[in-house]
Amino acid sequence: MLPDNIVITSDIRHIFGKYLRDHSFSRIGVLVDENTRDYCLPVIRDLIEEALIIEIKSGEIHKNLDTCQEIWKQLTESYFDRQDLFINLGGGVIGDMGGFCAATYKRGIPFLNIPTTLLAQVDASVGGKLGIDFQGYKNHIGVFTKPDCIFIDPAFLETLPERQLRSGFAEVIKHALIADAAYWSNISRHPFSKQDWTSHIKHSVKVKNEIVRKDPKEKGLRKILNFGHTLGHAIESYFLSDPKISLLHGEAIAAGMIMESYLSHELLDLKTEELTAISQFILSVFNKIPLEEKDLEDILQLTMQDKKNEKGITNFSLLEKIGKATHNISVARSEMIAALSYYRSIK
């Protein structure tokens, strides 16, 4: 069961319209980027005719303090207060950064997530992790604050480039791998083009919400949601500043899941055939990232800032088997290198 404030709907206008009628906000702000302004905002624009539209540039590279200052400035100039509503209409960047801005403006004003990418619908919009990148580190500055509501309409995916859909699929795969072997079987039987997105959204939100409910501040259990993310985030951060390779979050996480499945096989009980099945399915969906020998050192260095680290040790969340994850597994440097090498070696 999902809580009342997370709604998966095929009629966002109805749900959102009712929400606005049930409350009486004197001011509404909407954060969009150039894509959601064109493709998503028109769906709800007439319901919020007088809203302040704050537009930022799309892309992880803009998820920083400079953009936050621009958002806070616009809220200030329009005299937003704690009775007003802020809406994040977009993907993970919009949700993470807009939520962070709302949660810190005047020490927090109400905000609503309307995620429009698969990635945001199955992952980023749920669970209250907000933040921005800082000095090249992913989500380095942020808070845990849940939005007042999350309205998810799969129809928004029709406006999404296929590459973005693929990126979100990585988190769908992750939720199956860490918590539901049967669902993994279901997913991995079908090629990318035959996936059922509405079903995947429902499944992912249910899995994630259940884990977050038990451990909202990531003291323990919630860390399993980071499967694939320790090396994945490091790879994503590493290529963030590389103009030649533009990686999406899910693309980095897909590579991270292969590497961390390798670690699960080496350090825990993940079977060889499970490792092979995971690697082969992921590589049937995602292109391999061209990692070179010279990249490895910097990528390992980046794991030193992972938020799960304790007392200087890099901790991983790994798979005991498909459908069951565990956390706080410390991994030696040599093993991380082996994992990166495994990824580079597979065909």
Sites of contact with a copy of itself (CB under 8 A): 26, 65, 69, 72-73, 76, 79, 81-83, 103-108, 129-131, 134-135, 137, 139-144, 217-218, 304-305, 307, 309-312
145 contacts: CB under 8 Å, gap ≥ 6 = 99, 103, 108, 128, 130
User: Which letter does DSSP use for residue 122 in this model?
Assistant: I
User: Nearest approach, Cβ of 272 to a copy of itself (angstroms)?
Assistant: 34
User: Nearest approach, Cβ of 140 to a copy of itself (angstroms)?
Assistant: 7
Active site residue 171: yes
User: Nearest approach, Cβ of 1 to a copy of itself (angstroms)?
Assistant: 27
Q: What DSSP element (H or E) covers 55?
A: strand 52-56
Active site residue 226: yes
Tokens (6 digits) for 179: 């918590």
Helix (H, G, I), strand (E, B) or coil at 277: helix
Which residue in the list 35, 37, 203, 218 is annotated as catalytic? Answer: 218
User: Nearest approach, Cβ of 109 to a copy of itself (angstroms)?
Assistant: 10
User: Which letter does DSSP use for residue 23 in this model?
Assistant: S
Active site residue 190: no
Active site residue 320: no
Q: Which of 187, 164, 159 is nearest to 284 (CA)?
A: 187
Active site residue 219: no
307 contacts: CB under 8 Å, gap ≥ 6 = 139, 218
**What is the distance between the alpha carbons of residues 17 and 339, in angstroms, rounded to a whole number?**
49
Closer residue to a copy of itself in complex, CB, 147/154? 147
- How far does Cα 37 stand from its chain's mean position? 21
Active site residue 200: no
Closer residue to a copy of itself in complex, CB, 245/332? 332
Which residue in the list 21, 107, 244, 311 is annotated as catalytic? Answer: 107
**What is the distance between the alpha carbons of residues 317 and 267, in angstroms, rounded to a whole number?**
11
- Counted residue by residue, the chain has a size of 347
- The amino acid sitting at 208 is K
Active site residue 209: no
Which residue in the list 171, 251, 260, 274 is annotated as catalytic? Answer: 171
Which residue in the list 222, 223, 265, 327 is annotated as catalytic? Answer: 222
**What is the distance between the alpha carbons of residues 104 and 57, in angstroms, rounded to a whole number?**
21
Closer residue to a copy of itself in complex, CB, 134/192? 134
Active site residue 60: no
Contact predicate 2/30, CB 8 Å: no
Which residue in the list 229, 265, 308, 327 is annotated as catalytic? Answer: 229
Q: Which of 1, 3, 11, 4 is nearest to 152 (CA)?
A: 11
Closer residue to a copy of itself in complex, CB, 142/154? 142
User: Nearest approach, Cβ of 212 to a copy of itself (angstroms)?
Assistant: 13
Question: In this structure, how many other beta carbons lie within 10 angstroms of the beta carbon of residue 69?
Answer: 11
Which residue in the list 129, 206, 265, 308 is annotated as catalytic? Answer: 129
- The amino acid sitting at 121 is Q
User: Nearest approach, Cβ of 3 to a copy of itself (angstroms)?
Assistant: 20
Catalytic residue positions, numbered: 107, 129, 171, 208, 218, 222, 226, 229, 233, 249
